[in-house]
Amino acid sequence: MSPNMTHAITGEEQAKLYQIRMELYTKMEALTQIPWYYLAAVDQYERNLRFSRKDLPKPEGAIGIYYPKEVWSGPINPNSEDTNPVTIGVFGGMGQDGNGDGVANRLDDEDVLYTMANYIQSYGSDHHNVKIALWDYYQRDKTVALIMGHMKVFKHFGRLELDQHAFPVPIRSNHSYKNTWGDRRGWGGLRMHEGTDIFANYGVPVRSTCYGIIEVKGWNRFGGWRVGIRDLNNTYHYFAHLNGFAKDLTVGQIVEPGMIIGSVGSSGYGPPGTAGKFPPHLHYGMYKDNGYTEWSFDPFPHLRAWERQERNRK
């Protein structure tokens, strides 16, 4: 039931993984009364940590939640490979038997997911207590915020298959771009360009590239009118130099690929409202959160892929 995740998987394999995960989430919801979308959000957050960090093993099963041996078995347990739920409990470990086979295996999907669900349930199953449980576990406000954002998206759409993307401007619009990530920039002081500039005319619609949550909306001295979207991969998508925002766009709003969030402009490099210091274009950046910090990475390959996929769909 735990297909190896170390190779590139096909669309059929991915669909099967989604089915397996949803079956596990709903089973644990029935056992613990923790709604499936909270469990999906924690699992999704941790899975992305494991793909973005070198100090964590890559997930091999359907569930991405990771427990180090000392957390699972107990910090003073002389047997770091202990799978006995009784002795694990004696030594203060978290490991639980989730499938009723009498073994608490930290590499078993059901045991791992049940252990997390049971931990959260010990605080309560309502939203407020789930947040407290997650803060006590992760000790990081941003982590809790990211998981709550993932939860909102899963709950809103009612499914896990949310990995489609869209190009940030209509592909039939008159636009151009090239790989400018890492270039030198002099406006406001010498620094690295953390994104790709997509040149287009004033007023060309700017669209969400992903499923996610509006995390930031407003003015930035350098970026002008800008929007930040957090997706289900713990990635922050940054849209800057906008001419304006879509009507009624708000922080915390759920978005999906292709949804209009604003339009191309030339705002920035001054107090609110400053514009026209450069040709109209969209600055598009991507930043990854790894549970400790956040860093910029090159969006150009993703933009090329999303543009190609959208042209193929059309």
DSSP letters for 122-152: TT-SSHHHHHHHHHHHH--HHHHHHHHHHHH
Task: Fill in the DSSP letter of residue 55.
Answer: S
Task: Fill in the DSSP letter of residue 160.
Answer: S
What are the C-alpha distances in Å from 230 to residues 145, 154, 218, 289, 291?
10, 13, 15, 10, 14
What's the pLDDT at 5? 41
- 5-9, 98-102, 105-109: the lowest-pLDDT one: 5-9
DSSP H helices in 169-298 = none
The answer on pLDDT for 7 being more than 80 is no
**What is the reported pTM?**
0.92
Of the candidates 163, 147, 164, which has an alpha carbon nearest to the alpha carbon of residue 35? Answer: 147
What's the pLDDT at 222? 87
What's the pLDDT at 3? 32
CA dist 150 and 233 (Å) reads: 9
Domain boundaries, the chain: 11-67+106-157, 176-313
**52 sits in which H/E element:** helix 36-52
The answer on pLDDT for 143 being more than 50 is yes
CA dist 65 and 10 (Å) reads: 22
Which residue is it, tokens 């590239």?
A: 209
What's the pLDDT at 193? 64
Identify the band that residue 187 occupies on the pLDDT scale cut at 50, 70 and 90. low
What's the pLDDT at 133? 98
- Structure token digits, residue 229: 């979207």
Relative to beta strand 196-199, strand 176-177 is antiparallel
**pLDDT > 90: percent of the chain:** 87
The answer on pLDDT for 124 being more than 80 is yes
Q: How far is CA 151 from the centre of its chain?
A: 11
Rg of the chain over Cα atoms, rounded to whole angstroms, equals 22
What's the pLDDT at 182? 66
* 78: Cβ contacts below 8 Å, ≥ 6 apart: none
- 106-120, 184-198, 227-241, 249-263: the lowest-pLDDT one: 184-198
What's the pLDDT at 34? 98
What's the pLDDT at 194? 81
Task: Tell me the pLDDT of the chain averaged across its residues.
Answer: 93
CATH assignment of 176-313, among 2.70.70.10, 3.30.930.10, 3.10.400.10, 3.40.50.2300: 2.70.70.10
The answer on pLDDT for 6 being more than 60 is no
The answer on pLDDT for 2 being more than 60 is no
Residue 93 contacts residue 72 (beta carbons within 8 Å): yes
Residue 308 contacts residue 301 (beta carbons within 8 Å): no
What's the pLDDT at 192? 64
CA dist 204 and 202 (Å) reads: 6
What's the pLDDT at 9? 76
Mean pLDDT of 156-174: 97
Mean pLDDT of 155-172: 97
CA dist 31 and 40 (Å) reads: 15
What are the C-alpha distances in Å from 28 to residues 98, 113, 239?
9, 7, 38
283-306: b (≥16 Cβ within 10 Å) or e: bbbbbbbbbeeeebebbbebbeeb
The answer on pLDDT for 191 being more than 70 is no
Backbone angles phi, psi at 63, to 5 degrees: -100, 135
What's the pLDDT at 313? 87
The answer on pLDDT for 163 being more than 80 is yes
CA dist 242 and 252 (Å) reads: 19
Mean pLDDT of 8-18: 87
Identify the band that residue 185 occupies on the pLDDT scale cut at 50, 70 and 90. low
